[in-house]
Amino acid sequence: MIIVTNTIQVKLGCSSAILERFKVAKGVQSFEGFVRLDLLRTEGLTEYEEIKVNTVWESKAHFEAWVASDSFKAAHGHKKKEENKQEGQGHGHGEKADSPIIGSKISYHEIVHTHLPVEASAAVNE
């Protein structure tokens, strides 16, 4: 399994509006290979705000299939691939002058080990 992290830098005072967009899932939750989405807000920054969108996938191939899907395009406002080719940009979160988004970066993390609470671990192993 992998975790894909989209780290989004946002202008001060604007993260709440971006986080609001994630309240309703936009199709990723029903995509094959999708496991979970966690939305994080970084604390303690003073120059900008930061949001991390962590999605857990059964494999990188599942994630890549979602990125190529119509579901992804719909969830990301139909952004063109060319807009995402610039270094440092994520998945269609255009960093235009009037946008609250300063920049974004995608990173991939292989899940090597997971430790669950004793109760959850016992339920998984039954």
Written as six digits, the tokens of 20 are: 């609001």
Give the per-residue pLDDT at 88.
Answer: 42
Give the per-residue pLDDT at 97.
Answer: 63
> How crowded is the C-beta side of 14, counted as CA atoms within 13 Å?
14
Domain 2-124 has CATH 3.30.70.100: yes
In the chain, which stretches have pLDDT less than 50? Answer: 80-90, 92-95
Instruction: Say which amino acid occupies 119.
Output: E
Written as six digits, the tokens of 41 are: 């807000």
* For the chain, the helix, strand and coil percentages under 3-state DSSP, each to the nearest 5: 25, 30, 45
Give the per-residue pLDDT at 84.
Answer: 43
Coil, strand or helix: which one is 63? Answer: helix
